[in-house]
């Protein structure tokens, strides 16, 4: 089979199965198996696929048609221009989360421009998953001391693999619940906390599409109103942040008022940032 025919047939299969980006997914599968760039098929559309290549591609196509997330099949997901290893049992990074990371970077640069040179900010990434937020921050903010926590050992093993890939010596991985595994010495010393915690309501989880069923439930479901973990995070964040320190959290748009009610006593609402669809997605808070 030629590469162009594989793309046509696979795109048709994915379209019939209701996959959101059928052509793109077909291109990415082809590129991964051939170990070439995504657009190579357009440069050499008449290339005949080897039997081994075609067998592997068909296996991936079959799994994707069953709605297994493409990131799990390719074991890779791009975030902030970096490529991260992901595997089943690890939450897949979303493009919307890049908005939160970009906002934190902008706030940090503005904040620390006002301070003396040589001061190294302390950042905590809560529920780090594959480490995409922590390692992106390490790449774009030189010298920051970053702690990345997760309750899942499997997720931390994935994050450790990505840490080794990018060779960052400023990120420390910590196993445990929320901020509990942080060292005592950083209490009251943290400048920024970033948290993309589970915020899907229990009753809406089963209605959110077949692909989410493959991701770890612990990374998605947030209780009856989706905010259980954020309620638990509140006193811990207040304890570890310095006065004036910032907390960045990702939410579902309809949770904005509830989040404000939860955090209003101990935090000032600085900003609410919309995602690419214009929905309120990121809340920026500052410790009173």
Confidence of residue 192 (pLDDT cuts 50, 70, 90): very high
If one counts every other C-beta atom within 10 angstroms of the C-beta of residue 64, the result is: 25
Closest of 152, 105, 113 to residue 130, by C-alpha: 152
Residues shown for the chain: 288
Report, as an integer, the average pLDDT of 81-107: 94
Report, as an integer, the average pLDDT of 12-39: 89
pLDDT surpasses 90 at 101:
yes
Confidence of residue 121 (pLDDT cuts 50, 70, 90): very high
Report, as an integer, the average pLDDT of 44-71: 91
Model confidence pLDDT, tens digit, residues 226-255: 999 999 999 999 999 999 999 999 999 999
Confidence of residue 68 (pLDDT cuts 50, 70, 90): very high
Report, as an integer, the average pLDDT of 200-204: 85
pLDDT surpasses 80 at 112:
no
Confidence of residue 42 (pLDDT cuts 50, 70, 90): low
Model confidence pLDDT, tens digit, residues 70-91: 999 999 999 999 999 999 889 9
pLDDT surpasses 60 at 116:
no
pTM: 0.91
**What whole-number distance in Å separates Cα of residue 3 and Cα of residue 11?**
12
Helices (DSSP H) in the chain: which residue ranges?
3-16, 22-34, 40-43, 51-65, 70-74, 95-113, 132-140, 153-166, 228-240, 256-263
Residue 204's pLDDT is 82
Confidence of residue 264 (pLDDT cuts 50, 70, 90): very high
């Amino acid at each position: 089979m030629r590469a162009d025919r594989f793309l046509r047939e696979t795109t048709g299969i994915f379209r019939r199965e209701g996959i959101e980006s059928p052509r793109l997914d077909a291109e990415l599968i082809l590129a991964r198996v051939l170990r070439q760039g995504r657009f190579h098929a357009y440069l050499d559309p008449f290339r005949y696929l080897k039997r081994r290549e075609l067998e592997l591609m068909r296996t991936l196509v079959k799994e994707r048609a069953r709605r297994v997330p493409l990131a799990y099949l390719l074991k890779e997901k791009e975030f902030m221009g970096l490529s991260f290893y992901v595997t089943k049992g690890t939450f897949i990074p979303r493009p919307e989360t890049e908005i939160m990371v970009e906002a934190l970077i902008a706030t940090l640069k503005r904040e620390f421009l006002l301070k003396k040179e040589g001061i190294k900010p302390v950042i905590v990434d809560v529920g780090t998953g594959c480490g995409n937020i922590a390692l992106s921050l390490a790449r774009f903010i030189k010298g920051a001391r970053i702690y990345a926590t997760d309750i899942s050992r499997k997720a931390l093993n994935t994050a450790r693999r990505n840490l080794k890939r990018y060779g960052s010596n400023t990120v420390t991985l910590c196993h445990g619940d929320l901020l509990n595994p942080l060292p005592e010495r950083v209490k009251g010393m943290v400048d920024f906390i970033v948290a993309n915690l589970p915020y899907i309501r229990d009753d809406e989880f089963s209605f959110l599409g077949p692909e989410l069923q493959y991701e770890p439930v612990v990374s998605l479901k947030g209780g009856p109103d989706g905010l259980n973990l954020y309620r638990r995070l509140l006193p811990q964040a207040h304890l570890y942040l310095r006065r004036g320190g910032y907390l960045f959290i990702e939410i579902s748009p309809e949770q904005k008022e509830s989040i404000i009610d939860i955090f209003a006593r101990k935090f000032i609402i600085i900003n609410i940032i919309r995602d690419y669809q214009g929905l309120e997605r990121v809340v920026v808070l500052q410790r009173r």
